[in-house]
Amino acid sequence: MDNPRKDMRKWSDFRPVYGYFLTTLFEPPTDPAGSRFGGLTPVIVRSLCTDLLRDYRNLTDSDAWFDQIRTVAEENGFAASVKEYKKDTASYVGSIREASQVIRVLLTGSTRSPALHLVAGVLGEDEVRRRIGAVLGP
C-alpha cells in the first residue's frame, strides 16, 4: 500500500479515534477540572458551556457555527483571536483557541478532531447539548 492510513491500523484503534461518533460508546468528560481543558478553571469551563447552551443552534455554515463559540468565548473573558491574546495575555483567560478546545474535548473527548462544525452536524443538536452540558453536573 503506497499511502497507508495512520489513524487506524487495526480494529482496536477505532474506538479512541472515531468512537465519539457513536453515542452508545462515547461518554463525554464530566470533570471541568480535567487536564484536557488546558488548565482553565472549572468556573470558566462551566460558564463557557452554560452560555453556549443558552443560545446554541445546530448551524450548517461553518463560520456561523463557529461564531457561536467566539461570542460566548468573548463573554467569558477569552480573546477573539490568538494574536489579540498574545498582545495582552493579562487581560484574558485565554484565546479563542483555548475556548474552542473546551468544546472539542466535550464533543470528541480529544484535543484533536475534524472540523467541529462537521462533528456537531453529524452528532445532532440534542447530542451536542448533552455533551456540552456534561461538565455542568446533574
Query: What share of the chain has pLDDT > 90, as a percent?
Result: 73
pTM confidence score: 0.86
80 Cβ contact partners less than 8 Å away, ≥ 6 residues apart:
70, 73, 74, 96
pLDDT in tens, 23-81: 888 889 999 999 999 999 999 999 999 999 999 999 999 999 999 999 999 999 999 99
Based on DSSP, count helices (H) and strands (E) in the chain, helices before strands: 7, 2
Q: How far is CA 136 from CA 42, 51, 57, 95, in A?
A: 10, 11, 19, 22
Q: Which amino acid is at 53?
A: L
Name all domains of the chain by residue range, CATH numbers in brackets.
37-136 (1.10.10.350)
User: Could you give the CA distance from residue 48 to residue 25 in angstroms, rounded to a whole number?
Assistant: 25
